[in-house]
């Protein structure tokens, strides 16, 4: 195994949670480096040198620096946990499809809805709810007759889609109409090494 990778992390960030929970699930030695977003640590020259976008997570692996949560998942899987990322063309393309969903409709749906309630982001809650519903419908359809998003076991596709889907109720996005999504979340949470992202008592969670 490698020396510990460093994950620059903020506990209530679903993007950062992707990187951290994958390291835990895959048994990759890691060190958590907390980033105080409220104090503006992500805007410091040192942090911006690693990620000019000023966002968590950032991964350091020796001299290698990777920003963007999905890029970090791909890097860690390729470097240290190949069984989490299919090597065949069809499997890799299928994983990429779900990474795109995570960066698209999940980001602009359940993630955005949670940004409104948890962090007071000035975004449109109706738009976020509509986009979240589209993403959840796609997940529900896939999971109707599959345990995992790609293949017969968990992959980084599941990791990428998990955090903001699991915490969608914090953004007033109900999961009640998606039984297969809820069953998938439970399977994911039962994986050895899983660690939850802290919940916030807002949205449906706070009612």
Give the predicted TM-score (pTM) of the model.
Answer: 0.94
Q: What is the pLDDT along the chain (207 residues), one digit of tens a residue?
A: 458 999 999 999 999 999 999 999 999 999 999 998 888 888 888 889 888 888 899 999 999 999 999 999 999 999 999 999 999 999 999 999 999 999 999 999 999 999 999 999 999 999 999 999 999 999 999 999 999 999 999 999 999 999 999 999 999 999 999 999 999 999 999 999 999 999 999 988 876
Distances (CA, A) of 92 to 39, 73, 135, 142, 166: 39, 13, 20, 17, 24
The Cβ of residue 82 has, within 10 Å, a number of other Cβ atoms equal to 11
Q: Which two tokens stand for residue 115?
A: 């940004």
DSSP code at position 31: E
Main-chain dihedrals φ then ψ at residue 30, nearest 5 degrees: -150, 155
pLDDT at 19: 97
Structural domains in the chain, sorted by start: 5-83 (3.40.30.10), 86-206 (1.20.1050.10)
Residues 110, 132 contacting (CB under 8 angstroms): yes
137 phi/psi in degrees, rounded to 5: -65, -40
DSSP state of 196: P
Contact 175, 136 (CB under 8 A): yes
């Amino acid at each position: 195994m490698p020396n510990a990778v460093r994950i620059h992390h903020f506990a209530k960030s679903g993007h950062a949670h992707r990187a951290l929970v994958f390291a835990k699930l895959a048994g990759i030695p890691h060190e958590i480096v907390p980033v105080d977003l409220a104090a503006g640590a992500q805007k410091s020259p040192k942090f911006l040198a690693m990620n000019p976008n000023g966002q968590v997570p950032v991964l350091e692996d020796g001299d290698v620096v990777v920003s963007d949560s999905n890029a970090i998942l791909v890097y860690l899987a390729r470097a240290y946990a190949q069984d989490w990322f299919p090597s065949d063309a069809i499997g890799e393309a299928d994983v990429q499809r779900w990474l795109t969903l995570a960066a698209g409709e999940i980001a602009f749906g359940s993630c955005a809805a949670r940004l409104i309630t948890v962090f007071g982001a000035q975004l449109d809650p109706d738009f976020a709810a509509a986009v979240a519903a589209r993403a959840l419908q796609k997940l529900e359809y896939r999971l109707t007759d599959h345990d995992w998003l790609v293949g017969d076991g968990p992959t980084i596709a599941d990791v990428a889609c998990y955090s903001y889907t699991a915490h969608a109720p914090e953004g007033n996005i109900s999961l009640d109409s998606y039984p297969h999504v809820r069953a998938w979340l439970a399977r994911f949470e039962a994986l050895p090494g899983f660690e939850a992202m802290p919940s916030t008592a807002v949205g449906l969670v706070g009612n």
